[in-house]
A and B are shown apart, each in its own frame.
Chain A
Amino acid sequence: MKPAKFIINTDYATIKNDADGTASVTLPNSLTLPANAPSAVYRATVGIGAKPSAGWRCYVTSDQHGFAVCGTSFSIYCKQDGYDAQILGNIFRENGAFVLEVQIPSNSFAPTTWTDMGQTLTLHLQAIIDPFNS
């Protein structure tokens, strides 16, 4: 038999890898914010043009650590006014691009100083598409 059309048919939806990309952002080692100031926002953006209907897989590396973390939220351990603290980072999609965002918040009532933050974060992204196929 010579098939005119060849179809690989699976009865199950699966996931396709639509695009890969990386982007980096460097955080300052020290930053002082006035009372009730807007958060200082640091972003790395990957504009890979993918439109994932399913989502993405990603991990984040830091040049200060020999390992990576996976997931869409992560914390950066640092100090606020000399005390151990955490800053949250997020990964999301915005207007077609993928964003790694770190917001360094202010204190509502007094100036605050963040230290020990200095590092370069790199987002390693794999956009996936299907099973919704948009």
Chain B
Amino acid sequence: MALSNLLLDSDYPIDKIVWLHEGTVSLSQGVNTFTIPHGVGAQIYPKGIWTVDDWATTQMFGVMRHGRGGLLDFTSQLSADSLNTEINLRYEIGSATAKIRLWGVCNDTQIPNLEVSNTAPLSNNNLVINTDNNYPKLYLEGFATPGTTVNHGLGAIPQVDIWAFDSYSNQWYLFADDSFGTMFGLGEFVKLTASTIEFTNNSGASPNYYYRIYA
């Protein structure tokens, strides 16, 4: 069958990565901070992974770990403003060389996400569009404050990325760290349900959230 009129149409934008960085940093025992200019000129929301064993074991930034006897092994945070990305990696299990991979997105009002919509009709006979890799669709993005409930109505708990604003350092942090409190039980700060995301109290440490919901 010949495809005479093909319309590519997506109601959803997909992630536009505005910044990429790959490198190596040297960790000494204690707190290590690294400032990496990103040059985007707008607030970016960073994510990233790191390893001290050449990717045999990979941690995402935002994680912390306690080891034997409850002692702290490490905390790893990633933050950014419109100029720089900052790594704060407290490493308590000696010195190490860490490989890092970082990337950043912007909110859609700053740099619009990609949207394939209303493409001009094409004429083609043997067109294959391979979607083996299943691009996650950015369903909804926005800002929220404690007390806000975002209705997504997807009918299932969605994949969500959340960043929180730290008023002390005036930067946006990847929200994944227990210091901001992704918790079970009392004091939870962000609850995901099949219909909502509920942003609750957070002791004033991070009064604003930026979220990206994927479908």
Check if A and B associate: yes
A-to-B contact residues, CB < 8 Å: 1-3, 6, 8, 10, 12-18, 36, 38-39, 52-59, 61-62, 64-78, 86, 88, 90-95, 103, 105-108, 119, 124, 126, 128-132
Q: Does B133 contact A (CB under 8 A)?
A: yes
B residues contacting the other copy or chain, number (CB 8 A): 62
Chain A positions within 8 Å of B175 at CB level? 70-71
Cβ-defined partner of A129 (8 Å) among B8, B17, B123, B133: B133
Chain A positions within 8 Å of B162 at CB level? 70-71
**Contact of B178 with A75 in the complex, beta carbons under 8 Å:** yes
13 contacts between A and B (CB under 8 A): A10-B114, A14-B17, A17-B133, A54-B49, A67-B193, A68-B157, A68-B191, A73-B178, A75-B183, A75-B185, A76-B184, A95-B56, A132-B20
B-to-A contact residues, CB < 8 Å: 8, 14-18, 20, 22, 47-49, 56-60, 62-70, 101, 103, 114, 116, 122-125, 127, 129, 133-136, 157, 159-162, 175-178, 181-188, 190-193, 198, 214
| A-B complex: 9 closest residue pairs judged by Cβ atoms | A77-B185, A71-B176, A16-B133, A105-B70, A67-B191, A71-B182, A93-B58, A13-B17, A72-B63
Chain A positions within 8 Å of B59 at CB level? 72, 92-93
Q: Who on chain A is nearest to B127 by CB?
A: A6
Cβ-defined partner of A70 (8 Å) among B47, B129, B178, B192: B192
